[in-house]
Structure 1
Amino acid sequence: MSELLRDRYRVKIATHGEKALRIAGGESRPDLILLDVMMPGMDGHEVCQRLKADPATREIPVIFLTARSDVADETRGLALGAVDYITKPISPPIVRARVRTHLQLKAGADFLRDKAAYLEAEVARRSAELAAIQDVTIHAMASLAETRDSDTGNHIRRTQHYVRALAEALRGHARFRDTLTSDYIATLFKSAPLHDIGKVGIPDRILLKPGRYTPEEFEVMKDHPRLGRDAIAQAEAQLGTPVGFLSMAKDIAYGHQEKWDGSGYPQGLGGDAIPLSARLMALADVYDALICRRVYKPGMPHEQAAAIIAEGRGRHFDPDLVDAFQTIQDEFQAIAHRFADDDVTMQRKREWMETVSPPDIA
């Protein structure tokens, strides 16, 4: 066989199965294997089985070359993954023709496999690029809202991580296990920064007011969930197709000020009528508002904030969400520390607010 083929191909010879497996699994793998069945030690059938079981050699075509001519032998060889079965005595022209044919088929299969791998990598690259663009767009929009508010950019990061931690803690709960899939939680994390995007439509005299709102001012402030939902809906409409994270962002923006007992706004929804994403955000948003310092107020201790969350169980918040919060409150506290606002950031925010806040009128 070597004499027959080496004038056209580079031929490597193995006199037993173990050597054949070493050659096939080496750095320079063969494009085709001619394999005898009857060999000393390991027979050809076992060699073929091992070749096909190894991902590194699985795609190398195997032609059995043997004196066994029974149909049962040929059937077994093909069942093991061989592409052809040549019986001895051989016809040199036929062997050369079959070798040439299977090498051409192998070349075509390699091309298609490489093409598929390239396309798969390209799709993965484009998908990652699209996801990055989405993330940048979301954070740009959220940062735009943040620049007009007393909150800082770290409020966005903290609430993102709060809602994800809370959702993860609820994954095994009977009420939520069908909803809180990995995809849902990933979309939740991506959408959360847009919860207060509607604040861009609130006048500075109200948005930046450090004290309590008058009833009239509060009515204006209560419109920010609708403004946020409408802004996101308009962006989605311009795309011309529904987008998962934007749909959830609309639910969060419009529903995060609702309360479990129906006393929230803007719709006065209660219980499970409030989207789960909005219920998660409501708890995260309130916790952050309580524990984090603002330009006009210090933050309260975690223990006091946790007590207020507990008091809101069944009134402000979904009871099961409060229970989950209490089991992972240390994680909430760790997130707050990790993304705490530093003194430089707070000073810059304070100076900015002083330039845009309306003067007090005696």
Structure 2
Amino acid sequence: MSGQRTILVVDDTPDNLALMSRLLKDHYKVKIANSGRRALTIAAVEPRPDLILLDVMMPEMDGYEVCRRLQADPSTTDIPVVFLTARSNQEDEHLGLELGAVDYISKPISPPIVLARVRNHLQLKRAADLLRDQNSFLESEVTQRTEDIRAMRDATIVALASLAETRDNETGNHIRRTQDYMKVLAEKLVENPKFGAFLQPETIDLLYRSAPLHDIGKVGVPDSILLKPGRLTPEEFDIMKTHTTLGHDALSKAEEVAGTGDERSFLQLAREIALTHHERWDGKGYPQGLAEDDIPIAGRLMAVADVYDALISKRTYKDAFSHEEAVAEIRKGRGTQFDPDIVDAFLGLEGVFRDIAASHAD
């Protein structure tokens, strides 16, 4: 019969198995097991039974142990178990229910009572299965929507960052390279006690995704300054430096609109990076003149990633440095321009940086 429910009857006595089979066979598909081990084998095979009627007193493995093992296995834990037993004291019944059984029927059985309870428990299981399926569907939908939102967020970040970079057409794959530099640096610094608490996996992911926005403020810098082939005058450099605050302020407004209060949101990290990636360890950077640990970790990481990439890239005002020359410059800035611990991590990864630069070469 299509859609017929399956009952597994477990009892070591052949007469009891025959009795239960006769009682149930006109209403359900019946499987039988004459031992606890056989019952576990049958229950583990698809299609699994919809309900198990389980004797308590059996040799080798009693019903209580069978119930324990069914509950411990994720594939069988949702199958309802009804104990059938001649042991009817309250302690035995309490133990069975504590182990996860849904009901306890005393022998000698009353056929109408057994049929009624089996029917009720199958209806309950059908409702539970439906609810579980609905929950799984909803979880799947939420997961998909979350992935869609993240994909849209990432696409928006790349679009905004690309817009800024198109105004400085010599930067090429700078966005992609600095993302990867940030990620490998952060993963390396997890081993350092100074950084481990901050650099949790989710934060590293957010750093990677927010890194492309570090120069978003360049959209507010006039072309005459941004694209000037020669050295900037002090006045022009002051205007160029405003890209840090312009980027920070724009991202802050976006964060207000988004209504996120999470300190580890990608917008919060993005604005920290935009504002502080030109700060220096010795306090001589801009725009705030922060020093040492007062500079957010995100800004300190981007400082190394950004300068390395700027050094190995050709600009209208300079030729590209070799990898070795760029590494020497970063090493020279240890403790003055850059956080010493981040420089040490960089030096341990300089081969990885070279490979990233080569894989995303302009």
TM-score, normalised relative to structure 2: 0.90
Q: Classify the secondary structure of the residue corresponding to 1:12.
A: strand
Alpha-carbon distance, 1:237 to partner: 2.6
Identity %: 61
Q: How many Å separate the matches in 1 of 2:23 and 2:73?
A: 29
Task: State whether residues 163 and 284 of structure 1, in contact with CA within 8 Å, keep that contact through their aligned partners in structure 2.
Answer: yes
**Maintained 8 Å contact 1:49/1:80:** yes
Higher relative contact order (CA 8 A, sep 6+): 1
String of CA shifts for 1:89-129, please: whole Å, max 9, x gaps.
01111111111111111112112211211111111111111
Asked if residue 174 in structure 1 is aligned to residue 193 in structure 2, the reply is: yes
Matches for 1:204-219 after TM superposition, within 5 Å: 204-219=223-238
Instruction: Please say which of residues 245-254 and 292-301 is displaced more in the overlay.
Output: 292-301
Residue number in structure 2 paired with 1:259:
280
1:208-263 per-residue CA deviation (whole Å, 9 max, x = no partner) reads: 12221122221211111111112212222333444611111111111111111111
Residue in structure 2 matched with residue 146 of structure 1 by the alignment: 165
Q: 1:313 aligns to what SS in structure 2?
A: coil
Is residue 289 of structure 2 the alignment partner of residue 268 of structure 1? yes
Aligned to 1:327: 348
Residue in 2 aligned with 1:355? Answer: none
| Preserved contact between residue 214 and residue 277 of structure 2 (Cα < 8 Å) | yes
Alignment of 1:83 onto 2:94: no
Relative to structure 2, which stretch is displaced further, 43-52 or 205-214? 43-52
Identify which range, 140-149 or 151-160, moves more after superposition. 151-160
Q: Tell me which residue corresponds to 1:190.
A: 209
Q: Is the contact between residue 80 and residue 101 of structure 2 (CA under 8 Å) also seen in structure 1?
A: yes
CA positional deviation for 1:88: 0.8
Deviation digits for residues 269-309 of structure 1, max 9, x if unmatched?
Answer: 21122111011101100000011234664421111111110
Alpha-carbon distance between aligned partners in 1 of 2:259 and 2:64, rounded to the nearest angstrom:
58
- Cα deviation 1:285-340 (Å, max 9, x = unaligned): 00000112346644211111111101111111111111111111111111111111
What's the RMSD between the two structures over aligned residues?
Answer: 1.7
Shift in alpha-carbon separation, 1:280–1:17, aligned structure 2, 3 A: same
How far 1:160 sits from its partner (Å)? Answer: 0.7
Q: Please tell me whether the aligned partners of residues 230 and 316 of structure 2 are also in contact (alpha carbons under 8 angstroms).
A: no
Which is further off, 234-243 or 218-227?
234-243
d(CA) in 2 for partners of 1:311 and 1:39?
79
Instruction: Give the unaligned 5+ runs of structure 2.
Output: 1-19
Equivalence for 2:120: 101
CA distance in 1, matches of 2:193, 2:59: 61
What is residue 22 of structure 1 aligned with on the other side? 41
Is the 8 Å Cα contact of residues 231 and 317 (structure 2) preserved in structure 1? no
Distance 1:295 1:215 in 2: 18
Structure 1 residue 44 corresponds to structure 2 residue 92? no
Decide which of 224, 233, 251 is 1:232's aligned counterpart: 251
CA distance in structure 2 between the partners assigned to 1:295 and 1:122 by the alignment: 50
Normalised TM-score (structure 1): 0.90
Q: Distance in 2 between matches of 1:174 and 1:26?
A: 49
Conserved? CA contact 1:292–1:299, under 8 Å: yes
1:303 is the counterpart of 2:324:
yes
**Aligned partners of 1:318 and 1:150: how far apart in 2?**
30
Code of the residue aligned with 1:107 in structure 2: it is R
Residues paired across the two proteins, number? 341
- Residue in structure 1 matched with residue 143 of structure 2 by the alignment: 124
CA distance in 2, matches of 1:74, 1:314: 72
Residue of structure 2 equivalent to 1:160: 179
- Amino acid across the alignment from 1:257: H
Gaps of 5+ in 1: 342-362
Identify the residue that residue 153 of structure 2 maps to in structure 1.
134
The change in CA–CA distance for 1:238 and 1:46 in structure 2 (over 3 A counts) is closer
- Tell me the CA shift for residue 153 of structure 1: 4.5
1:10 matched to 2:29? The reply is: yes
Question: In the alignment, which residue of structure 2 is the partner of 1:351?
Answer: none
Partners of 1:94 and 1:295 lie apart in 2 by 90
Give the equivalent residue in structure 2 for 1:277: 298
What amino acid is the match of 1:143?
S
Change over 3 Å in CA distance of 1:242–1:48 after alignment to 2: closer
Residue by residue over 1:14-45, the C-alpha shift from the partner in whole angstroms, topping out at 9 and shown as x without a partner, is: 22333322221111111100011233543322
Contact 1:143 1:153 in 2 (8 A): no
| Greater alpha carbon shift after TM alignment, 215-224 vs 236-245 | 236-245
- Do the aligned residues in 2 keep the contact of 1:24 with 1:30 (CA within 8 Å)? yes
Measured after TM superposition, the shift of residue 187 of structure 1 is 1.2
